[in-house]
Amino acid sequence: MVKNIRLIALVFLVIVSFFILLKGLDKTNNYSPNLNSSKIDFNFKAKFLYSDEESTLHELINDKDFSIINIWASWCLPCRDEHSFLLNLKSLDKLNIIGINYKDNEINAKKFIKELGNPYSKIVVDPSGVNSIELGAYGVPETILIHNKSKTILKKYIGPIDDEKLAELKMIIKNEN
Protein backbone atom coordinates (compact mmCIF):
# COMPACT_ATOMS: atom_id res chain seq x y z
CA MET A 1 0.00 0.00 0.00
CA VAL A 2 2.75 2.40 1.02
CA LYS A 3 4.68 1.49 -2.09
CA ASN A 4 1.63 2.25 -4.21
CA ILE A 5 1.21 5.70 -2.73
CA ARG A 6 4.86 6.44 -3.39
CA LEU A 7 4.51 5.37 -7.01
CA ILE A 8 1.37 7.44 -7.50
CA ALA A 9 3.05 10.46 -5.92
CA LEU A 10 6.06 10.05 -8.18
CA VAL A 11 3.96 9.75 -11.34
CA PHE A 12 1.91 12.73 -10.24
CA LEU A 13 5.04 14.78 -9.66
CA VAL A 14 6.44 13.88 -13.07
CA ILE A 15 3.19 14.82 -14.79
CA VAL A 16 2.97 18.14 -12.95
CA SER A 17 6.56 19.05 -13.78
CA PHE A 18 5.97 18.09 -17.40
CA PHE A 19 3.08 20.52 -17.69
CA ILE A 20 4.94 23.28 -15.90
CA LEU A 21 7.84 22.91 -18.33
CA LEU A 22 5.45 22.68 -21.29
CA LYS A 23 3.86 25.94 -20.27
CA GLY A 24 7.30 27.51 -19.95
CA LEU A 25 7.92 26.83 -23.63
CA ASP A 26 5.31 29.41 -24.56
CA LYS A 27 7.12 32.15 -22.70
CA THR A 28 9.52 34.20 -24.76
CA ASN A 29 13.09 34.23 -23.61
CA ASN A 30 13.45 37.90 -24.37
CA TYR A 31 12.95 39.90 -21.26
CA SER A 32 11.37 43.28 -21.84
CA PRO A 33 10.98 45.58 -18.89
CA ASN A 34 7.85 47.40 -17.90
CA LEU A 35 9.11 50.93 -17.93
CA ASN A 36 7.48 53.28 -15.48
CA SER A 37 7.64 56.18 -17.83
CA SER A 38 7.12 55.89 -21.55
CA LYS A 39 8.09 59.50 -22.09
CA ILE A 40 10.77 60.01 -24.68
CA ASP A 41 13.79 61.45 -22.94
CA PHE A 42 16.30 60.99 -25.69
CA ASN A 43 17.29 63.30 -28.43
CA PHE A 44 20.13 61.96 -30.50
CA LYS A 45 21.54 63.25 -33.74
CA ALA A 46 21.73 61.00 -36.76
CA LYS A 47 22.77 61.27 -40.37
CA PHE A 48 20.30 60.61 -43.21
CA LEU A 49 20.81 57.68 -45.53
CA TYR A 50 20.13 59.70 -48.69
CA SER A 51 21.92 62.92 -47.79
CA ASP A 52 24.78 64.12 -45.65
CA GLU A 53 22.58 66.22 -43.42
CA GLU A 54 21.95 65.46 -39.80
CA SER A 55 18.77 65.63 -37.83
CA THR A 56 17.68 65.20 -34.23
CA LEU A 57 14.98 62.75 -33.29
CA HIS A 58 12.63 65.48 -32.12
CA GLU A 59 12.79 67.10 -35.54
CA LEU A 60 12.03 63.79 -37.17
CA ILE A 61 8.86 63.05 -35.22
CA ASN A 62 7.18 66.41 -35.65
CA ASP A 63 5.11 66.10 -38.82
CA LYS A 64 1.99 64.11 -38.07
CA ASP A 65 -0.01 62.69 -35.16
CA PHE A 66 1.90 59.44 -34.89
CA SER A 67 5.32 58.17 -35.75
CA ILE A 68 6.62 54.69 -36.15
CA ILE A 69 10.31 54.19 -35.65
CA ASN A 70 11.41 51.02 -37.36
CA ILE A 71 14.90 49.66 -36.85
CA TRP A 72 16.03 47.57 -39.80
CA ALA A 73 19.04 46.33 -41.72
CA SER A 74 19.55 44.81 -45.14
CA TRP A 75 21.32 41.80 -43.61
CA CYS A 76 18.36 41.01 -41.37
CA LEU A 77 16.04 38.39 -42.85
CA PRO A 78 12.98 39.03 -40.65
CA CYS A 79 13.16 42.66 -41.81
CA ARG A 80 12.48 41.44 -45.33
CA ASP A 81 9.38 39.62 -44.09
CA GLU A 82 7.98 42.61 -42.27
CA HIS A 83 8.62 45.06 -45.09
CA SER A 84 5.27 44.43 -46.80
CA PHE A 85 3.49 45.28 -43.53
CA LEU A 86 5.34 48.58 -43.33
CA LEU A 87 4.34 49.37 -46.89
CA ASN A 88 0.78 48.62 -45.88
CA LEU A 89 1.02 51.07 -42.96
CA LYS A 90 2.37 53.78 -45.24
CA SER A 91 -1.16 54.41 -46.53
CA LEU A 92 -2.31 55.80 -43.17
CA ASP A 93 -2.52 59.61 -43.22
CA LYS A 94 -1.92 60.19 -39.54
CA LEU A 95 1.27 58.19 -39.53
CA ASN A 96 4.85 58.94 -40.32
CA ILE A 97 7.29 56.04 -40.64
CA ILE A 98 10.93 56.66 -39.81
CA GLY A 99 13.55 54.07 -40.53
CA ILE A 100 16.73 53.58 -38.57
CA ASN A 101 19.25 51.66 -40.60
CA TYR A 102 21.11 49.56 -38.04
CA LYS A 103 24.79 48.68 -38.52
CA ASP A 104 24.49 48.41 -42.24
CA ASN A 105 26.46 48.96 -45.39
CA GLU A 106 25.16 51.99 -47.28
CA ILE A 107 25.12 50.33 -50.70
CA ASN A 108 23.29 47.26 -49.43
CA ALA A 109 20.77 49.40 -47.57
CA LYS A 110 19.94 51.39 -50.69
CA LYS A 111 19.67 48.21 -52.73
CA PHE A 112 17.26 46.77 -50.16
CA ILE A 113 14.98 49.82 -50.43
CA LYS A 114 15.18 49.82 -54.22
CA GLU A 115 14.25 46.17 -54.35
CA LEU A 116 11.41 46.08 -51.82
CA GLY A 117 10.02 49.63 -51.91
CA ASN A 118 10.34 52.50 -49.48
CA PRO A 119 7.75 52.75 -46.68
CA TYR A 120 9.81 55.33 -44.80
CA SER A 121 9.37 59.08 -45.01
CA LYS A 122 12.87 59.49 -43.64
CA ILE A 123 15.73 57.09 -43.07
CA VAL A 124 18.59 57.78 -40.71
CA VAL A 125 21.65 55.61 -40.26
CA ASP A 126 23.03 54.12 -37.08
CA PRO A 127 26.38 52.60 -38.04
CA SER A 128 27.59 51.90 -34.52
CA GLY A 129 24.23 50.90 -33.03
CA VAL A 130 24.50 53.53 -30.31
CA ASN A 131 21.36 55.42 -31.28
CA SER A 132 19.31 52.26 -31.10
CA ILE A 133 20.48 51.72 -27.54
CA GLU A 134 19.35 55.25 -26.69
CA LEU A 135 15.95 54.08 -27.90
CA GLY A 136 16.16 51.06 -25.63
CA ALA A 137 16.29 48.64 -28.54
CA TYR A 138 17.60 45.09 -28.50
CA GLY A 139 18.37 44.57 -32.17
CA VAL A 140 16.66 44.27 -35.52
CA PRO A 141 13.84 44.37 -36.36
CA GLU A 142 12.16 46.50 -33.78
CA THR A 143 9.20 48.84 -34.10
CA ILE A 144 8.21 51.67 -31.80
CA LEU A 145 4.94 53.59 -32.08
CA ILE A 146 5.16 57.16 -30.82
CA HIS A 147 2.46 59.69 -30.07
CA ASN A 148 3.97 62.85 -31.49
CA LYS A 149 2.20 65.50 -29.45
CA SER A 150 2.80 64.01 -26.03
CA LYS A 151 6.12 62.44 -27.10
CA THR A 152 5.28 59.15 -25.49
CA ILE A 153 5.87 55.59 -26.60
CA LEU A 154 2.51 53.89 -27.15
CA LYS A 155 3.72 50.48 -28.23
CA LYS A 156 6.93 48.62 -28.80
CA TYR A 157 7.45 45.41 -30.74
CA ILE A 158 10.61 43.37 -30.56
CA GLY A 159 10.81 41.23 -33.67
CA PRO A 160 9.06 41.46 -37.02
CA ILE A 161 5.56 42.82 -37.52
CA ASP A 162 2.96 40.20 -38.47
CA ASP A 163 -0.77 40.26 -39.23
CA GLU A 164 -1.71 40.39 -35.58
CA LYS A 165 0.65 43.25 -34.72
CA LEU A 166 -0.40 45.15 -37.83
CA ALA A 167 -4.05 44.97 -36.78
CA GLU A 168 -3.12 46.08 -33.27
CA LEU A 169 -1.10 49.03 -34.55
CA LYS A 170 -3.98 50.15 -36.75
CA MET A 171 -6.39 49.83 -33.82
CA ILE A 172 -4.22 52.01 -31.56
CA ILE A 173 -3.80 54.65 -34.26
CA LYS A 174 -7.54 54.68 -34.93
CA ASN A 175 -8.55 55.01 -31.28
CA GLU A 176 -5.96 57.44 -29.95
CA ASN A 177 -6.06 61.11 -30.70
Partner 1 sequence: MKIKILVLIIFYLISFFNLSHGANSEKVDQISKNLRCLICQGQSVYDSQSDFALSMKILIQNKIDEGKNDEQIYDFLKSKYGEWIVYDPEISKNTVLLWVLPLILFVFGGILILRKVSIK
Residues engaged in binding partner 1 (CB under 8 A): 29-31, 33-35, 41, 102-103, 128-130, 132-136, 138-139
Q: List Cβ neighbours of 61 (8 Å cut-off, separation of 6 or more).
A: 67, 69, 96, 98, 146, 148, 151
CB of 73 to partner 1, least distance (A): 9
In angstroms, the CA 149 to CA 170 distance is 18
Q: Which is nearer to partner 1, 30 or 51 (CB)?
A: 30
What pairs with residue 39 in β-bridges?
152
Q: Which is nearer to partner 1, 73 or 97 (CB)?
A: 73
Question: Whole-number minimum distance, CB 71 to partner 1, in Å?
Answer: 11
Q: Toward partner 1, which CB reaches closer, 96 or 102?
A: 102
The radius of gyration of the chain's CA atoms, rounded to the nearest angstrom, is 21
Residue 63 CB, shortest distance to partner 1, in Å, is 25
- The amino acid sitting at 33 is P
Q: Closer to partner 1 at the Cβ: 7 or 35?
A: 35
145 closest CA partner among 73, 86, 69, 88: 69
Q: How far is the CB of 4 from partner 1 (least distance, A)?
A: 36
